[in-house]
Amino acid sequence: MVSYRCFVGDIPRGQFVCHACDTRECVNPRHLFLGTPKQNTQDAVAKGRMSRGEQRYNAKLTADDVVVIFKDKSTMQKDLAERYGVCRGTIQLIKAKKIWKHVLEKVAA
């Protein structure tokens, strides 16, 4: 951020300094650009720097688990949560397609 401020200018509120070279330690002003938090995340996803789903180090579910949970017609979300070792909120978010969207966009209810 200091390099951007020194060589390029002020950083508007709500903007992040992003790295085109994907090296966080880089201070080359030609490698820095501004983006919103959403744009920064989209850039990271597009460049394969963000893991999601079962690729995450702390994932408790697999894509197959998520499909089974989504298709399950049971109203006992507590039971599903206990079976898969997650909280009820996770089950609710899967059912609402708020998480694991990359898996559920390919699944019909």
Is pLDDT of 109 > 70? no
pTM of the model: 0.59
Mean pLDDT of 9-25: 92
* Mean pLDDT for all residues in the chain: 91
Could you give the percent of the chain with pLDDT greater than 70?
98
Compute the distance between CA of residue 32 and CA of residue 17 in angstroms, rounded to an integer: 6
Per-residue pLDDT, 24: 82
